[in-house]
Amino acid sequence: MAGVGIIVVFDFDKTIIECDSDEWVLEALGATHLFNQLRPTMPWNRLMDTMMTELHSQGKTIEDIAECLKSIPLHPRLVAAIKSAYALGCELRIVSDANVFFIETILKHHGLFDCFSEINTNPSFIEEDGKLRIFPFHDFSVSSHGCSTFDLCPPNMCKGRIMERILVSLETKKRIIYLGDGKGDYCPCLKLGEGDLVMPRKDFPLWDLIACNPGVVKAEVHGWSYGEDQERNLLQLVNRILLEEENRSSQQMLSAECKLQTTVPIPAAQEALPQALRVSH
């Protein structure tokens, strides 16, 4: 079933998981008060990097952070949906403003890591002393990522630019299904065309932005609220696309056969072999 021509792109926080992973870890490790104090003073990525340094200085280990991440709830129906879409041959990718360590830890814990072919998120790594470092996907201290879509994209990441890169990299046309919830998910939805599909989480910023400008997003819109309808809608759309592709392939084969019969007629039985030459003696 590989290569069916469908790419499913997921946001992560509040789309795959039920919360914001940054806030979950800080609250679980008792760092929310300091975070709120520092929040007005620096960009989010730099703040999270600072908070990881602070937690390390308090004796919190990378194992402590990992255990917090493993306790984040995933709706069981979404886990099933991801595994089903992967089994049907869809290519699954993540575009998220979280970070590599958080996402990989959670996906591996739930047995989902191998389902994804690509994770686009903020880089992170563990230093020799065990301290987690987090850096911006786009280094905005050097240059801007250049997107001005309603000022919705944070300075460290334009998901629309990532979507453009995904679309350009495709060797053949593929259908995109995009799932997201936040205002940063609006820009990539604008890059999609007719035939693509968007699944915004209802009553979240992405849903509201699309509802305010219903004619701007060219892709079909199919909302969802919780894991059950997220799974149902996603698999219905995947199966619909598979059926459409199967019907299109059948029509193309039938058309090719009809064309062959029209342009290359089958010779009559008496003309099947050349006439023998008479040999005179």
The answer to whether 13 is a known catalytic residue is yes
What is the pLDDT at residue 142? 79
Task: Give pLDDT tens digits for 231-264.
Answer: 999 999 999 999 988 887 666 666 656 665 555 5
Residues 6 or more apart in contact with residue 142 via CB below 8 angstroms: none
Quote the pLDDT of residue 252.
Answer: 63
pLDDT tens for the chain, 281 residues long, are: 444 699 999 999 999 999 999 999 999 999 999 999 999 999 999 999 999 999 999 999 999 999 999 999 999 999 999 999 999 999 999 999 999 999 999 999 999 999 999 999 999 999 999 999 999 998 877 778 878 765 789 999 999 999 999 999 998 889 999 999 999 999 999 999 999 999 999 999 999 999 998 889 999 999 999 999 999 999 999 999 999 888 876 666 666 566 655 555 544 444 443 443 444 44
pLDDT value of position 151: 77
The pTM for the full model equals: 0.87
**Residue 129 among known ligand-binding residues:** no
How far apart (Å, rounded) are the C-alpha atoms in residues 238 and 7? 10
Q: What is the DSSP annotation of 19-76?
A: S-HHHHHHHHTT-HHHHHHHGGGS-HHHHHHHHHHHHHHTT--HHHHHHHHHTS---H
pLDDT, tens only, 20-65: 999 999 999 999 999 999 999 999 999 999 999 999 999 999 999 9
Please state the length of the chain: 281
- What pLDDT is stored for residue 187 in this prediction? 96
Q: Would the annotation count 114 as a binding residue?
A: no
What pLDDT, on the 0 to 100 scale, is given for residue 66? 98
Residue 222 to residue 80: CA distance in whole angstroms: 19
DSSP class per residue in 209-254: HHHHSTTT--SEE--B-SHHHHHHHHHHHHHHHHHHHHHHHHHHHH
139 is in an annotated binding site: no
| Alpha-carbon distances of 46 from 41, 50, 67, rounded to whole Å | 10, 6, 23
49 an active-site residue?
no
Q: How many CA atoms lie within 13 A of 263 on its CB side?
A: 6
User: Contact, 42 vs 212, CB < 8 A?
Assistant: no
- Please tell me whether residue 77 adopts helix, strand or coil conformation: helix
Please report the pLDDT score of residue 47 as a whole number: 96
Amino acid, res. 137: F
Active-site residue, selected from the candidate residues 13, 49, 185, 196: 13
Q: Please tell me the predicted confidence (pLDDT) of residue 254.
A: 65
pLDDT of residue 170: 93
